[in-house]
Amino acid sequence: MQIYDRGRQSMLDVTIESSASGNATKIEMRSSSPTRSQHFGTMCVAPQLNSLRLLSVDNRKRTAVRQVGSRFLEIADRMKGDLGLSSVSLSCQDEGAAKFFYKAGFRFIGSGADAKNAALKHHLDHSQGALPDEIVFLGDMEKR
């Protein structure tokens, strides 16, 4: 697997390491270099009903590399399929992250979801600066 190194302006090979604790799985992304190992991020997931729940996603080097979050979502999609689950879900706790997850195919679910999804789609389609104040883009999201 590879991510983009902004400093070198080239792709960087990474390794994925996972460990289990109960029904949760911790997945770490590190550089493949045996001499200069770098930790790029961690994702924790657990099956919940018919969904693979993203418990946390930590992108440690956001300014130095790109595609860490996208690679974690690819891993989650594969895990979802391997486990025979119907969706990947999460509780979005950051409005900036809501834009990332929406672009990756996640949609808000539950109370007020239609309004949140419509407003976020409109915001992304019209490249406005800040998110509108009248709707809070936090809460449960799901990707089927």
pLDDT digits (tens, 9 = 90+) for 94-129: 988 999 999 999 999 999 999 999 999 998 998 767
- What is the count of structural domains for the chain? 2
Read off the pLDDT band of 21 (50, 70, 90). Answer: very high
Do the beta carbons of residue 35 and residue 44 sit within 8 Å?
Answer: no
| Contacts of residue 119, Cβ cutoff 8 Å, sequence gap at least 6 | 132, 134, 135, 137
Both 74 and 103 in a single domain? no
CB atoms within 10 A of CB 14: 21
| pLDDT mean over 32-59 | 92
| pLDDT at site 99 | 93
Of the candidate ranges 31-35, 45-49, 74-78, 109-113, the one whose mean pLDDT is the lowest: 31-35
Same structural domain, 30 and 1: yes
Residues 101 and 140 in one domain: yes
Task: Point out the domain boundary residue: 52, 85, 118.
Answer: 85
- Which of the residue ranges 36-45, 69-78, 84-93 would you say has the lowest mean pLDDT? 36-45
pLDDT of residue 133: 81
Q: Which of 143, 144, 91, 96 is nearest to 124 (CA)?
A: 96
Distances in Å between the alpha carbon of 107 and those of 58, 63, 74, 86, 118?
Answer: 20, 26, 17, 14, 10
Residue 5 and residue 57 share a domain: yes
Same domain, 43 and 103: no
Confidence of residue 30 (pLDDT cuts 50, 70, 90): very high
The pTM (predicted TM-score) of the whole model is 0.90
Domain carrying residue 136: 91-144
The arithmetic mean of pLDDT across residues 9-32, rounded, is 94
